[in-house]
Amino acid sequence: MKFSGLLAFTALVFSAAPMAQAKTAAECRQMAVNLNAEKQAYMADHAELKTLQEEAELAGIEYDDAKQTSTWSDGHKAKSDAMQAKFEALKEDVNTKSEELVAIQAQLNRQITLFNQACSTYLSQD
């Protein structure tokens, strides 16, 4: 599943507003379903980040190996340069994804707090 950070973040921000006003059990159940879906999407995105981190780590190892032989020939230098570019791009992707997930997690935490506040009466009855 590919992550659309800005779209998902925007959806989270706009979906948080109605939470504070929910009062009925039905509304709270629906909010819980929505929060669970958002949490599952976050978990999938987090798994993607872990995979991306592993790819970056392997690219870093490959780059270090290529760097060791970069002085042997122009071909070795070109390979080292290509591996460096790949490694740098993956590091940037990891950093971007990490920042997006931090923002999503903070918003999800706010939504959970709003849910707990809006549905405290309902939750205390269960």
**Tokens in use for 109?**
């935490």
Q: What pLDDT does 98 receive? A: 96
Q: Which residues of the chain have pLDDT under 70?
A: 1-23, 123-126
Name the residue ranges covered by the structural domains of the chain: 28-125
Instruction: Give the model's pLDDT for residue 126.
Output: 53
Residue from 93, 21, 32, 27 nearest 57 by CA: 93
Q: Which residues of 46-55 are buried (b: 16+ CB within 10 A; e: fewer)?
A: beebeebbee
**Which residues contact residue 81 at a Cβ distance below 8 angstroms, ignoring those fewer than 6 apart?**
70
Per-residue pLDDT, 113? 92
Where do we find the tokens 């935490």?
A: 109
How much is the pLDDT for 77? 92
d(CA 12, CA 108): 7
pLDDT tens figures, 59-86: 999 999 999 988 899 999 999 999 999 9
3-state secondary structure at position 70: coil
The per-residue pLDDT for 8 is 46
CA angle 81-83-85, nearest 5°? 70
